[in-house]
Structure 1
Amino acid sequence: MTGPLLQVRNLTKRFHTPAGTVHAVEDVSFDIPRGSIMGLVGESGSGKTTLGRALLRLIQPTSGQIRFDGTDIAALGAEEMRQMRRRMQIIFQDPMSSLNPRLKVGDLIAEGLRAFGIGSRTDRRDRVAALLEEVGLSADHMNRWPHAFSGGQRQRIGIARALALEPEFIVADESVSALDVSIQAQVLNLLLELRDRRNLTMLFIAHDLSVVNYLCDRVAVLYLGRMMEIGPTDRVHRASAHPYTRALTSAIPQPDPRAARNRQLLQGDIPSPLAPPSGCVFRTRCPHAAPGCEAGAPQARTISAHHQSYCKRTEELYGH
């Protein structure tokens, strides 16, 4: 790994609705080193998918910078962004809904190649055959329809389609959450192989910390659109420095059901992004909330190299 391929600074995305302003992502900053996989975790409604799509400009950020290989893509025009899309792709959560049922698999995977006028018809067919084999399917599958495949196979087709334009960066949005556990493991191993073979950089969005611990080099924890903690995966898992991360970590299933556990259950539901709490947005569910938590959003506190927590009481609670 070298320097960061992606640098995000103060990224904010708000949606204006008749009911009010939805604060989907607020003032988020992070880097993703080239050739690494960063996990993004949090409960449903935390803003993970919105953040992932904003990074690709599938939705327009409200403010902030997204520097991809030195270029601020948040400021690019339509045609410049279209060309940049060859370098960044997405793998969706539900492969069936993202695959056009009226197209055969070969045509689905070749869509991007046709859109950019890459290669002849024969060249594209050869490229699709090679991609299918690379993701663990057969070249003969290009002549079949999406409904003929299992969920795991359809996800492999989605991965092949994302790889067709030789991207450098991929957002995988809950890409294994709908699969059986055994199939999940196969797809996760495939993503690791592809990362190593192609030197891919990825943002892996998930709600399952055990999956993130297996796959990712670093992890960022999001809650109600704000960053709670970010750092090396093993460090965050072993020595979480934020009460929210500790609650998520305590919920990871253990191999031995008889082993003693310190479950930290969160009370209540995640607040509405239409009316987020003042100050620390987690304070209304935090077991350690104290006077002062309602005043101003917490700033990043450095725990160790590349490990930061966004909690005013981190040092007091955990000795960091």
Structure 2
Amino acid sequence: VKSYVERDDLPHLLFAGPASTGKTATAQAIAKELYGDDWQENFLELNASDERGIDVVRERIKDFARTSFGGYNYRIIFLDEADALTSAAQSALRRTMEQFSKNTRFILSCNYSSKIIDPIQSRTAVFRFSPIDDADVIARIRDIAATEGIEFTEEGLDALAYAADGDMRRAINALQSAAAAGGVVDEEAVYAITSTARPEEIEEMIERALDGDFTGARAHLADLITERGLAGGDIIDQLHRSIWEFELEDKAAVHLMDRLGEADYRISEGANEQVQLEALLAAVALAAGES
């Protein structure tokens, strides 16, 4: 990206990756580098999935692209959440991109590049953004806490990084919420404010199932969902992150991952979260008993 900017030869770009990994910040940095103090006049940020429809988005693009400011060769339009558009809407967007390609560069942002139609992907340079490393999250949170005078423990920082799972915005929001609750931002405060189970709690639940103790595993799950208010989808995510902490044989790991994927799919389709997670634990316990 830096080389494009240095040559002032920017193609259309597609930024793909999880939320809060720097896609919007990178697009803005490009504009600031190209236009300096004029960057806001030459940079239009839109949500591609505007509830008013793609036609409204296209009209705003046309109005922006038809004008110029500061004598620059082109202006930049940043379209966030492009993967939320239907294929038909993306096709309409592609035609708009072609129509104004001479004096406009498009930067599209999405979580999943696979949801962007091929005709758009073939017209863009694709850059993939990875989740932010825990060490980088902790370093940033430490700086913010020091600047704001927030007291914290090292265990609290580790918990913030775990709960954020590579999402810097989530980490900062969690720090703010935990600090607002009063007192020191420690491990207990972070897990409570983010409705996140401790890693060891997830591991204990699975270990009980692997030991054939379905009743104990089920009671542990009920505590997380009913008493602590954790969402089933979040527990699925934490289970996925914890699987590789167990010393499982390949067959057992494959079975657990398969059941995890099935539960995740059924929950996304509207099935009862607790029932699906109990079925997952039951399958793990049964498989453990047969081995």
TM-score above 0.5: no
Q: Which has the higher helix share?
A: 2
Q: Which has the higher strand share?
A: 1
Q: Which structure has the higher relative contact order (CA within 8 Å, separation 6+)?
A: 1
Computing the radius of gyration over CA atoms, which structure comes out larger, 1 or 2?
A: 2
TM-score by length of 2: 0.31
